[in-house]
Amino acid sequence: MADENNPNGKNGKVGLVDRVKEDIQAMKVDIPAKAKEQIEGLKDPTKTQVYTSIFRHKHDDTPRNRALGVLSNVFLHLHPAKINRDAVRYSYTWGMGGITFFLFIILTYTGVLLMFYYHPSKVQAFRDVLYLEHDVPFGKILRNMHRWAAHLMVIGVWLHMFRVFLTGSYKKPREFNWNIGVLLLVFTLLLSFTGYLLPDDQLGFWAVTVGTNMARATPLLGHEGPFGSMLGMTPYNDVRFGLLGGSIVDANALLRSYIWHCIGIPIVASILMIVHFWRVRKDGGISGPAPVMLEAEADKPRRGPKAAGE
Amino acid sequence: MDWRQLWEICSAPDNVPIVGLIPLLAFYIYLAWKQAHANDQLIAQLEADPAMAKTHHRKTWPFKPGWQKEVHVWPFLLRIEFLAAIIITIILMVWSITLNAPLEEPANPNLTMNPAKAPWYFLGLQEMLVYFDPWIAGVVMPTMIIVGLMVIPYIDTNPLGSGYYTWKQRKFSIGTFLFGFIVLWVAMIIIGTFIRGPGWQWFWPGQTWDHNRLIYEVNRDLPDIFGITSNIAKAIFGALVVGGYYVLGGFLVYSLFRRYMGKDFKRMSLLQFSMTQFLLLTMVALPLKMGLRLLWHIKYVWITPWFNV
Ligand code: HEM
């Protein structure tokens, strides 16, 4: 009966067993062979498909690969492949632009982590900071790093501007990039300032009160400023009211500070940084160290096609 | 000498950056000066020897024909950037482990902090409140600083000193910038941080902050000294003084430029030159007004019904 239900009968069963046996035999050869191949392959990971899909060129130390290492990487290709031998001297740039940018990245990173624990409301803000300080794992060092990086960034921008000035790097053709820089300076200070209020403690509250009180006195647009009251400015409709979302530093001011600090200004500053870096490249790389010019050459065009340190 | 008071001010966590800024600035000024000095010497040498100027590579660093002019970014620049990132991270870590960010009592509008200070980087502007009304110190000055910085590349027509440190080729522009940055910005911040105590009064370093100290100071206005009493006369008088300052000062700037910076003057358009005059005079007006106040207790120069200067 079983046979009737199984037209292949005994032969079919035997065929299956044989096939399995055959496969097992083959497997004993195939798999070790493949395993060997795999292990061989692992000895040089740069040949794997995963590797070659990520890195678009070989790794050997050749001039071509050094150049490609920079050019084929979206982050590194901000740099040219080669630069003037003197342009890498720390004494020239002081590295302050790069350090400022690095601090901005650290601030973004620590700032996002802080945002997980912070509510921009009068009820919660201060407690959240206490919570961060005492209960969140690594919360204290997180907050400290964010604060000190912010201070360092302000110092970094100042020193960067100072060296750009001292090396005359704002001169032709970099006038426009200097202007982008000035805007970055302003936004860096504003980032710091808007963040100052967020812990909602006495320090931040009074600093921001002192700071925004000046807005009262804005000519034309502040209620205590020259011609302000003549234009109908009151504490309830002038620029200060617009900044704070109220006539005193309170819940709305906290929320506005938070949004400017975490969303508005970082976006604008990031865009400006992109333009800034782009222009550094387009204006011929950093300005020097360039060959010195003599008084007599002042009104003549510069020697050589590209005298600067690009 | 109240050491505790001094220590309290210097070690306040938010003041530490300024304590750090001073040696940093000193170091970088030294670094810049060293290179400027070397370049100036090279320039003098080349100017004295035109034959040498034709062949010299024009940098203070050694260079020999046949040496590569360019180096690969990978690794020669990237390794520096990587190192800088590591060093900054370490500094930040150590700083964050050893020093806690400040957190005061919860914000309380009814409990005024005395002194209530702006964040340290704005203390220069707050210090200006002593000498100027808020609309000038808080609004006009920051605007002028930003605008002034932005026009620098367009009014500095001196083509020399682009891409290298020098002092001799850019005495005026570097001198002006140093004055604005170091004297009017950083020094005011230092005063605002270390000197100003309760009631924004002047306390020498090491002097105890006395919250009850009162200073009896009678301030006068400039028109009072000349016995001018009527409001209209005061307004006209002030306008004349301020206007006169800009006109006479403008003339002085012109005559100095013509005499000592003839080449730069020649290169400048009328707009560039008048912009320079205006910004320079406005900048110089700050220490002048401070001097009027500190030496002769003069509060306002120009009094009108709408604003005072
Ligand atoms: C968030 C703020 C800023 C960042 C992240 C930044 C970043 C940079 C970087 C990485 C460079 C390349 C050379 C170097 O590191 O020195 C650079 C160059 C430059 N920066 Fe900035 N910068 C900032 C603010 C400023 C400010 C405030 C100014 C001037 C007011 C400025 C003006 C310039 C100019 C003119 C150059 C070209 C310099 C040269 O060719 O030697 N930047 N910036």
The secondary structure of B137-183 as a DSSP string is IIIIHHHHHHHHHHHHHHH----SSSSS--SGGGHHHHHHHHIIIII
Q: Is A149 in the pocket of ligand 1 (CB under 6 A)?
A: no
Please check whether residue B288 is in contact with residue B249, taking contact to mean a CB–CB distance below 8 angstroms. Answer: no
Per-residue model confidence (pLDDT) at position A221? 87
Q: Do residues A67 and A163 share a domain? A: no
Q: Is A169 in the pocket of ligand 1 (CB under 6 A)?
A: yes
CB contacts of B239 in chain A (<8 Å) are none
pLDDT tens by residue, B143-163? 999 999 999 999 999 999 999
Least Cα distance to A296 among B59, B183, B49 occurs for B49
Residue A66 distance to chain B (closest CA, Å) = 6
Q: Do residues A123 and A187 share a domain? A: yes
Residue A201 lies in a domain: yes
Residue A58 lies in a domain: yes
Q: Do residues A195 and A228 share a domain? A: yes
Q: Which of A57, A62, A203 to mutate to test the interface with B (most CBs of B within 10 A)?
A: A203
Q: Do residues A110 and A190 share a domain? A: yes
The mean pLDDT of chain A is 89
Q: Do residues A34 and A124 share a domain? A: no
Please give the average per-residue pLDDT across A76-96, as a whole number: 90
State the residue for tokens 């220490």: B287
Q: Which of A87, A141, A217 sits opposite B134 (nearest CB)?
A: A217
CB contacts of B303 in chain A (<8 Å) are none
State how far the Cα of B262 lies from the Cα of B272, in Å rounded to an integer.
Answer: 14
Q: pTM to 2 decimals?
A: 0.90
Residue A78 lies in a domain: no
Neighbours of B56 (CB within 10 A): 15
Q: Is A184 in the pocket of ligand 1 (CB under 6 A)?
A: yes
What distance in angstroms lies between residue A282's CA and the mean position of ligand 1's atoms? Answer: 13
Per-residue model confidence (pLDDT) at position A71? 86
Interaxial angle between packed helices A202-216 and A251-259, expressed in degrees from 0 to 180 and rounded to the nearest 10? 90
Per-residue model confidence (pLDDT) at position A8? 54
Residue B148 distance to chain A (closest CA, Å) = 10
Q: Which of B88, B109, B140 sits opposite A99 (nearest CB)?
A: B88
Please give the average per-residue pLDDT across A83-106, as a whole number: 93
Least Cα distance to B95 among A44, A267, A164, A151 occurs for A151
- The reply to whether residue A106 touches residue B74, judged by beta carbons under 8 angstroms, is no
Residue A83 lies in a domain: no
ipTM of the complex: 0.94
From A23, A38, A73, the end of a domain falls on A73
Least Cα distance to A96 among B178, B25, B259, B54 occurs for B25
Q: Do residues A94 and A68 share a domain? A: no
Output DSSP code: residue A260.
Answer: I
Per-residue model confidence (pLDDT) at position A2? 47
Residue A91's pLDDT band (boundaries 50, 70, 90)?
Answer: very high
Per-residue model confidence (pLDDT) at position B213? 81
Residue A61 lies in a domain: yes
CA atoms within 13 A on the CB side of A63: 4
Residue A282 distance to chain B (closest CA, Å) = 16
CB contacts of B84 in chain A (<8 Å) are 95, 98-99, 102
What are the backbone angles phi and psi of residue B106, rounded to the nearest 5°? -60, 150
CB contacts of A218 in chain B (<8 Å) are 135, 138-139
Which residues, including other chains, have CB under 8 Å from residue A171's CB and lie 6 or more apart? A287, B153, B156, B159, B161, B162
Residue B268 distance to chain A (closest CA, Å) = 13
Q: Do residues A163 and A280 share a domain? A: yes
Residue A13's pLDDT band (boundaries 50, 70, 90)?
Answer: low
The domain of A19 spans 15-73
Q: What is the pLDDT along chain B (309 residues), one digit of tens a residue?
A: 888 888 888 888 888 888 889 999 999 999 999 999 999 999 999 999 999 888 889 998 888 888 888 999 988 999 999 999 999 999 999 999 999 999 989 999 888 888 888 889 999 999 998 899 999 998 999 999 999 999 999 999 999 999 999 999 999 999 999 999 999 999 999 999 999 988 888 888 888 888 888 777 778 888 888 888 888 989 999 999 999 999 999 999 999 999 999 889 999 999 999 999 999 999 999 999 999 988 888 889 898 888 888
Q: Do residues A67 and A112 share a domain? A: no
Q: Which of B93, B165, B267 sits opposite A166 (nearest CB)?
A: B165
Q: Which of B76, B149, B162 sits opposite A182 (nearest CB)?
A: B149
Task: Report how many domains make up chain A.
Answer: 2
What distance in angstroms lies between residue A17's CA and the mean position of ligand 1's atoms? Answer: 76
Q: Do residues A269 and A123 share a domain? A: yes
- The reply to whether residue A162 touches residue B78, judged by beta carbons under 8 angstroms, is no
Closest alpha carbon within chain A to B146: A182
Helices and strands of chain A, counted as H and E runs: 13, 1
Does residue A309 register a pLDDT over 80? no
- The reply to whether residue B109 touches residue A248, judged by beta carbons under 8 angstroms, is yes
What distance in angstroms lies between residue A243's CA and the mean position of ligand 1's atoms? Answer: 29
DSSP H helices in chain B? 3-11, 16-48, 50-55, 73-76, 78-98, 123-128, 134, 141-155, 171-178, 187-190, 222-225, 231-260, 262-267, 270-296
Q: Do residues A280 and A168 share a domain? A: yes
Please give the average per-residue pLDDT across A175-189, as a whole number: 97
**Count of A–B CB contacts within 8 Å?**
297
- Cis-peptide into B50, omega within 30 deg: no
- The reply to whether residue B24 touches residue A159, judged by beta carbons under 8 angstroms, is yes
Residue A81 distance to chain B (closest CA, Å) = 6
Atom of ligand 1 nearest to the CA of A188: 1
Closest alpha carbon within chain A to B167: A166
Q: Do residues A213 and A162 share a domain? A: yes
Q: Is A67 in the pocket of ligand 1 (CB under 6 A)?
A: no
Does residue A5 register a pLDDT over 80? no
In degrees to the nearest 10, what's the CA dihedral of B39, B44, A299, B154? 40
- The reply to whether residue B137 touches residue A82, judged by beta carbons under 8 angstroms, is no
Residue A171 lies in a domain: yes
State how far the Cα of B77 lies from the Cα of A82, in Å rounded to an integer.
Answer: 9
CB contacts of A146 in chain B (<8 Å) are 101
Does residue A232 register a pLDDT over 60? yes
Helix (H, G, I), strand (E, B) or coil at B196: strand
Q: Do residues A44 and A100 share a domain? A: no
CB contacts of B54 in chain A (<8 Å) are none
The domain that holds A159 is classified in CATH as 1.20.810.10
Residue A247 lies in a domain: yes
Per-residue model confidence (pLDDT) at position A304? 45
pLDDT tens by residue, A183-219? 999 999 999 999 999 999 999 999 899 888 888 888 8
Q: Which of B95, B103, B146 sits opposite A129 (nearest CB)?
A: B103
